[in-house]
């Protein structure tokens, strides 16, 4: 990271950003072309858990190239100034890298879905068996991540 003064080094502070963020952006490479999608997610046991439709560009890209970059942020606030060149943004963010795998085992699917539901509601849910056939579960094994904060 170029700006060491903005780096968040404490792992618990980085994981707090992961717990508070509402959206996770997943970046992929589609035959040399960048592709980014915002997704709802859960984070547990060093993995991001995502759900998706069974078909689509994201699924096709990840089947060919499972390497991803992800980004999340919290606390975004524009810090204005009379001089627009001095306007800045306050935020805390995490950027990381990992490898996506498709979860096929039904119990593992339920655990991933629980991680997602807990992230947003703090609860779990009893998933109808047929719904497990209608959803793709993607687990990203986080290989590295860094945190950054800007006070604006």
Along the 152 residues of the chain, how does pLDDT read in single tens digits?
566 667 788 899 999 999 999 999 999 999 999 999 999 999 999 999 999 999 999 999 999 999 999 999 999 888 888 888 888 889 999 999 999 999 999 999 999 999 999 999 998 888 888 889 999 999 999 999 999 998 75
Using the Cα atoms of residue 52, residue 96, residue 24 and residue 142 in order, give the sign of their dihedral: positive
Domain residues of the chain, as ranges?
4-151
Q: So what's the architecture of 4-151 in CATH?
A: Roll (2.30)
For residues 127 and 112, the answer to whether their CB atoms sit within 8 Å is no
H helix runs in the chain, sequence order: 11-20, 57-64, 106-121, 129-133
SS3 2: coil
Say if residues 99 and 140 touch (Cβ distance below 8 Å): yes
């Amino acid at each position: 990271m170029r700006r060491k003064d903005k780096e968040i080094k404490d792992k618990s502070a980085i994981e707090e950003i992961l717990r508070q963020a509402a959206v996770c952006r997943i970046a992929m490479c589609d035959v040399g072309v960048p592709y980014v999608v915002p997704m709802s997610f859960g984070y547990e046991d060093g993995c991001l858990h995502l759900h998706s439709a069974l078909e689509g560009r994201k699924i096709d890209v990840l089947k060919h190239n499972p390497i991803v970059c992800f980004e999340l942020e919290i606390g975004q606030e524009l810090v204005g100034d009379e001089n627009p060149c001095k306007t800045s943004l306050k935020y805390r963010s995490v950027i990381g890298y990992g490898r996506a795998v498709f979860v096929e085992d039904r119990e593992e699917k339920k655990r991933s879905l629980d991680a997602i539901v807990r992230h947003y509601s703090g609860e779990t849910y009893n998933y109808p068996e047929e719904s497990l056939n209608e959803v793709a579960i993607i687990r990203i094994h986080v290989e590295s991540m860094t945190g950054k904060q800007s006070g604006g």
